[in-house]
Amino acid sequence: MKSSKVLKILKISRVTLWKYVKSRKIRVEQEPNGYYKYNDEDVYKIAGIKDGRWNVIYARVSTKKQKQDLQNQIENCISFLNAKGLSVDNVYSDIKSAMSLDRKGFMELLSTVMDFKIKAVYVSYKDRLARLSYELVEKLFSDYGTEIIIINQCESRSLEQELFEDIMQVIHSFSMKMYSKRRIAKKLLIESKAKQELIDAISGDLDDSN
């Protein structure tokens, strides 16, 4: 791993890192590009993090009517891991649009990733984790030593339909917000006109009395 990641995990200075390297507590190799790569196992050992970090699954669908697809995603990932001789340490799932990262299962996954407990996250498709901010999620997970393994690179027809529904949901939400803003603006305009008419009426009465 890179030095920046080592410093983040161990919460130490570069001087202390050099001391670990000098005392051979952390093995290091120099790559062809000149950068140094620090041994993951040594770093996690010093941090008190077990070497056997988790292999987990994340699955997601947008609606409850897709529950069977959710189960299929999980089963496909389990079969994939078993074929590689790996066990599944935990499964995280959500029934919610990928347009938002505010999902219970995803937030639990993220919290565990940030505790440096997860080695790899297995997903059926790239957009199961995120649709518009996947690169951000990938970078964040990588910073905590977690790899994202995508089993299927080609999207299925059902996922194309889900994407269409997500887009329609965003359009509907935007339309409702615009309608609400127009309604408020119209209400304020009517109130403003009513106030002006009242002021004009009072002014007229005062002029008549004079």
Burial class of residue 203 (count of CB atoms within 10 Å of its CB; 0-12, 13-18, 19+): exposed
Nearest residue to 122 via CA among 166, 88, 162: 88
**Contacts with 72 (C-beta within 8 Å, 6 or more apart), sequence order:** none
3-state secondary structure of 59: strand
Which residue has 């507590």 as its token pair? 25
Burial class of residue 6 (count of CB atoms within 10 Å of its CB; 0-12, 13-18, 19+): buried
Spatial separation of the C-alpha atoms in residues 77 and 87, rounded to whole Å: 11
Spatial separation of the C-alpha atoms in residues 108 and 92, rounded to whole Å: 8
Spatial separation of the C-alpha atoms in residues 82 and 90, rounded to whole Å: 14
* 22: its two tokens: 């000098």
Catalytic residues: 62
Q: Are the CB atoms for 9 and 145 separated by under 8 Å?
A: yes
